[in-house]
Amino acid sequence: MSVAHLRIVSTPADTMAEANDASLSDEQVVARLYQGHKDLVFRIGLRYGRGDRTWAEDLTHDVFIDLFRDVDRVRALDNPHAWLYRVATNRCLDRLKSERRRRRLTAVAGNNVSPRGRSGPEEILLESARLRRALQFVDALEPEWRACFYMHHVDALPQKEIAAVLGRSPSNICRILKRIEKRLNAAEREVEDG
Amino acid sequence: MAEGAHSPLVDALRSHDRALQRRSTSLAFDERMRRSIASGPPRRRRAWTHWLAAAAAVVMLLGAGSWWVMSNATGGGPDGPPEAVARFVGADVPITECQRDFEERVVHLRGRCTLELEEPGVTVQTWTRATVEPRRDGLVVHDGLVLVDVQKVQAGAAPVRVGVGGGSIEVLGTQFVIYEGTSGGEVELLEGAIRFSRTDGPAIEMEVGDRTRWAAPPETPELVPMIVPAPAPTPVPTIPATDNEAPAPEPAPTRAKRVDSASAEDLNATLVEVARLRERGQYHDALTQLREFRRSVRLPRTMAEVVSFEEGSLLEAKGATAEACEHWARHTRRFSKGQYDAEVQRHSTRLGCAHEPGGN
């Protein structure tokens, strides 16, 4: 009878101080980082993958397995959270740029976008329709602009940090955000006009 | 530069993102990641494999481990609890790796433990802690996180059963993960097939990747009798007939009479459930759920359009191209100049549908 493999158990996130322990093997370092930060990476994948679990899991797998290539650097990190945020975001952008894939809008129905106020059927539909248009808007942005949009409007990151994540200058990010604002205003007007 | 413009579209995206943030990786994925990480980088994998093989050989030479026999401390007679024979694999490895305490029929495990039940052929592994109770026909998981591996059950042999808070799992040669906690538990199937007999509902046939949760377990979880393997009925919202006076003939007598309008709760619950089923790749079940809902209630036009679009996309996801094409054509005829016109056109084009969706 084959003995089943042992299964990783969710443990509280280990601090980098523990991961820096020289007695840990590379596998242990990566495993601890995975336990501590897998949800961060996975959820970034869900965001850019429009809720597609498989897409997000593929991304998560790639991000953590690739850590083996640079384990020494990873051991020396003070803030693995920020580093993984940057790595995961850029990996998503790389994938988006190389894929031409339309995300399904109706999948959002299961993500509990609860209507505010009274939950009449029309309210639910209105919310769903609004979200669909919002996702259409985001879909139409090129990947890097999409990342700027999310980091600015959803994560509320300052331009300087957005620039650091994307490897661009803050002034460049400012220009991108201004152009996004223009498109957003136009999209809002379209929605209002019906 | 505007900081976080408060536009309806942005608000909708923030809501969506918040909903996504509530999700996390599945147990099956975590297991795959564990294996990938344990294997190390590809260039080192070969060396690790050789090391593992050598280590395994050393363990085997040292012995197969210790045996222990559990019996009822009160001296079980014919009506007493069955005995179970189990052994811990690799008992000669340092004791700090696995600590176990026995309490009557129950064993509390701490650390990395592997427990093999020879009859039936079940292996239980745990990482941090778990409380299990081996039985003659399986075991009961009282608490903690375990990985269960079952040797293939021979045809005609008694099924292996694993008791959990929410019911019992009938195993057919399979690998799955169980988590049992104070507020409930879940099981995720990694390999093979299982049937989960719930204490609060019909049996569920689970496929690889499926995940089932249950609420807080009762005081003493018991193995429940196996439910006769009849297909579980698809849940349909219970909607009372509103008109019992007019004996209008119905073309399908088994179909529930429609009420005038769907409730928000029914619609929302249905869409959420459909999305969950879709997420697990259970497109057929999602379609069934959606169609049952559509047939059981009268939908306003705008709502019907949403439901119709969802149905079409599920047909596509399921790979039923011809059926999807026909559906898109019907959708376009019924909802001409609807909110999904452009999208339906794109879907039809992508599928290569023969007929133009806009035409009749």
**Most A CBs within 10 Å, among B6, B10, B16, B327, to test the A interface:** B16
Tell me if B19 sits within 8 A of A111, measured CB to CB: yes
Q: Which two tokens stand for residue B293?
A: 């809902």
Q: Which of A73-82, B127-136, B207-216 has the highest mean pLDDT?
A: A73-82
> Do you know the residue count of chain B?
360
> Mind listing the pLDDT tens digit for each residue in B250-304?
344 444 445 456 665 566 667 666 766 665 667 777 888 788 888 877 787 777 8
Q: How many CA atoms within 13 Å lie on the side-chain side of B50?
A: 4
d(Cα B72, Cα B133) in Å, to the nearest integer?
A: 12
End-to-end CA distance of chain A: 65
For B191, the enclosing helix (H) or strand (E) is strand B184-191
**Most A CBs within 10 Å, among B11, B15, B188, to test the A interface:** B15
> Mind listing the pLDDT tens digit for each residue in B162-206?
888 778 887 766 777 777 776 777 787 766 777 888 777 777 877
- Concatenated DSSP letters of chain A: -PPPPP-----PPPPHHHHT-TTS-HHHHHHHHHHHHHHHHHHHHHHHTTT-HHHHHHHHHHHHHGGGGGHHHHHT-S-HHHHHHHHHHHHHHHHHHH---PPPSGGGGGG--PPSS---HHHHHHHHHHHHHHHHHHHHS-HHHHHHHIIIIIS---HHHHHHHHT--HHHHHHHHHHHHHHHHHHHHHHHH-
Out of A27, A131, A135, closest to residue B38 by CB? A27
Out of B25, B121, B306, closest to residue A128 by CB? B306
Q: Point out the least confidently predicted range of A118-127, B77-86, B156-165, B322-331.
A: B77-86
pLDDT reported for residue A86? 94
Q: What is the mean pLDDT of chain B?
A: 66
Whether A184 contacts chain B with CB within 8 A? yes
Mean pLDDT of A62-77: 88
> Which residues of chain B make contact with A174, given a CB cutoff of 8 A?
1
Tell me the pTM. Answer: 0.45
> Mind listing the pLDDT tens digit for each residue in A25-35?
899 999 999 99
Among residues B5, B13, B8, the alpha carbon closest in space to that of A180 is found at B5
d(Cα B1, Cα A178) in Å, to the nearest integer?
A: 7
Q: Give whole-number Cα distances, B287 to B66, B70, B270, in Å.
A: 52, 49, 11
Residue B6 has φ and ψ, to the nearest 5°, of -90, 70
